[in-house]
């Protein structure tokens, strides 16, 4: 099967995480992605180490840059600027995450590009949009703080905490991909490209889901609950004999099965716990009663027994243990990509499975400027028709 985006060319002027994750996703789907990097230093994340991969590159850079070609261009140099303009002319999609207005100041404003190349899809990624927030520098950590995510993350009586992964960048990168795919579909119908804008703050707030809806619907500000859920109980980490166990009961029937497995079926008929609303109101005493039973066995033992009756439960694993579990479940979570020099990079595989499958041609994350000569030779050929 041909890859879904086979034949699509993406000019990647982005760096760090949101943009590179978006372009790597497009590469995983079969697009040809040409990553434009600054001379000498390249993408910022090339210096974000340790840790370092066996290739000597940082694992941060490798995590979001497989399947791409790297070309070094100085956009302030007239010759390189002309090469960048030619690359854009040959591309279907351009993705950039310069500070708002900077790409235009370099001579690549969206309006002019769209006039010259009507079918071009331009994706602009920023921290806080192109209006009043245009001058604000955008990093995931700050977006988590000002957008409210940190306010609801952490222990109830503890400090606000960020999510350890740059989750807002990841969400924004995925939103960018959604925008690209929709714009490609629209171009099929109209022949016209689009300007797609995404920003960290909007992607975060769109992902706050029930938490944001709770505030908008009631005026009440959600607070921190640690591992507990504001609207469901039990839905938290409970202590067992050796380790915590994540337990999620989404309805009354599941709660009844939980209590039966634990040997305290009477709790399902206790007026304090009959309905989910009852359990939320009495979550403290409920957790104490459940942990009194869970203390008798290991977390793994309880997880096995509860899963067997359809109650979601799982041991709190490390990342390595989580990957091992995925392998045991037949999800094949790790892929190996190979570079031009034979180096191998092990990474988490693309999360989408296709039937029928298509053969991935993804290569290992490129060294800085690894493909400059190849790309410049392509650009020096007779220009192709613009998209």
Contact between 36 and 372 (Cβ < 8 Å)? no
From residue 77, give the alpha-carbon distance in Å to each of 69, 107, 108: 21, 12, 14
Q: Is 364 helix (H, G, I), strand (E, B) or coil?
A: coil
**What is the 8-class DSSP label of residue 238?**
E
Give the DSSP H or E segment for 140. helix 140-146
The residue whose two tokens read 């619907």 is 217
**What is the 8-class DSSP label of residue 274?**
S
| Tokens representing residue 240 in the block | 């067992």
State yes or no: is 169 an active-site residue.
yes
Give the DSSP H or E segment for 125. strand 121-126
Contact between 240 and 295 (Cβ < 8 Å)? yes
3-state SS record for 28-68 = HCCCEEEEEECCCCCCHHHHCCCCECCCCCEHHHHHCCCCE
Contact between 150 and 224 (Cβ < 8 Å)? no
**What is the 8-class DSSP label of residue 128?**
S
What span, in angstroms and rounded, lies between the C-alpha atoms of 21 and 383? 29
Of 74, 169, 270, 381, catalytic: 169
Q: Are strands 195-199 and 9-13 parallel, antiparallel or unpaired?
A: unpaired
What span, in angstroms and rounded, lies between the C-alpha atoms of 224 and 369? 46
- Write out the catalytic residue numbers: 169
């Amino acid at each position: 099967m041909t890859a879904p985006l086979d034949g699509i060319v993406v000019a990647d002027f982005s760096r760090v995480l949101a943009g590179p994750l978006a372009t790597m996703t497009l590469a995983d789907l079969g697009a040809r992605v040409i990553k434009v990097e600054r001379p000498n230093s390249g993408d910022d994340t090339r210096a974000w180490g340790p840790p370092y991969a066996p290739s000597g590159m940082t694992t941060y850079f490798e995590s979001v840059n497989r399947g791409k070609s790297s070309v070094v261009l100085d956009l302030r140099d007239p010759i390189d600027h002309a090469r960048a303009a030619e690359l854009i002319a040959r591309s279907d999609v351009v993705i950039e995450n310069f500070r708002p207005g900077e790409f235009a100041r370099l001579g690549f404003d969206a309006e002019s590009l769209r006039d010259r190349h009507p079918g071009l899809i331009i994706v602009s990624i920023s921290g806080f949009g192109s209006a009043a927030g245009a001058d604000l520098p955008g990093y995931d950590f700050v977006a988590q703080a000002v957008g409210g995510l940190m306010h609801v993350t952490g222990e109830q009586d503890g400090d606000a905490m960020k999510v350890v992964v740059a989750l807002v960048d990841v969400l924004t990168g995925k939103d960018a991909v959604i925008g690209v795919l929709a714009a490609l579909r629209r171009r099929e119908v109209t022949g016209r490209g689009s300007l797609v804008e995404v920003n960290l703050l909007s992607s975060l707030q769109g992902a706050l889901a029930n938490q944001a809806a709770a505030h908008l619907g009631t005026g009440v500000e959600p607070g921190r609950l640690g591992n507990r859920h504001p609207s469901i109980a039990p839905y938290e980490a409970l202590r067992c004999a050796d380790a915590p166990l994540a337990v999620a009961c989404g309805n009354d029937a599941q709660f009844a099965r939980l209590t039966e497995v634990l040997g305290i079926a009477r709790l399902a008929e206790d007026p304090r716990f009959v309905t989910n609303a009852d359990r939320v109101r009495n979550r403290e005493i409920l957790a104490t009663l459940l942990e009194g039973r869970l203390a008798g066995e290991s977390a793994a033992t309880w997880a096995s027994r509860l899963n067997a009756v359809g109650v979601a439960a799982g041991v709190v694993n490390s990342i390595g243990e989580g990957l091992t579990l995925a392998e045991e479940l037949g999800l094949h979570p790790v892929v190996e990509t190979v570079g031009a020099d034979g180096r191998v990079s092990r990474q988490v595989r693309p999360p989408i499975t296709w039937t029928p499958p298509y053969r991935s041609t993804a290569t290992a994350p490129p060294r800085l400027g690894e493909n400059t000569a190849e790309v410049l030779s392509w650009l020096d050929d007779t220009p192709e028709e613009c998209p």
